[in-house]
Structure 1
């Protein structure tokens, strides 16, 4: 799946970190119940920093970015 390939690329990791930081900044700046958005932003931030993809298991792929890339290589070489 091309979206998962992107998310597990170096550019995808940067995009997840940026998305997480934006969600956190918006949630903190708006205050009130928007702090929940800031909490939600921790998920893509952690996923980018620690190289895991939360969507991959939904498509039968491993959670770990390194294992995802290995599995993707094995599927394309068959």
Structure 2
């Protein structure tokens, strides 16, 4: 639950965006089948930029970041 709370936070959003950028850059450097990492990186970037958490529904929490944060402040 603490992981989901962190991922829903502003710091968690930035970590996802930075991790996604790192994966895309790594895939560009390595080439070949490593481009699959770029797809995963793109998902991380989108999740951070558009404020959603893919793991939250697995814990019964809302998918959207703003709603997720409300569940932890109440």
TM-score class, shorter-chain normalisation, is over 0.9
Q: Choose 1 or 2 for highest CA Rg.
A: 1
4+ residue segments displaced more than 4 Å: none
TM-score, normalisation: structure 2:
0.94
Give yes or no for the alignment of 1:12 onto 2:9: no
Higher RCO, 1 vs 2 (CA within 8 Å, ≥6 residues apart)? 2
Between the aligned partners of 1:7 and 1:57, the Cα distance in structure 2 is 13
Instruction: Figure out how many residues of one structure are paired with residues of the other and give that number.
Output: 74
TM-score, normalisation: structure 1:
0.90
In the alignment, structure 2 segments of 5+ residues that lack a partner are none
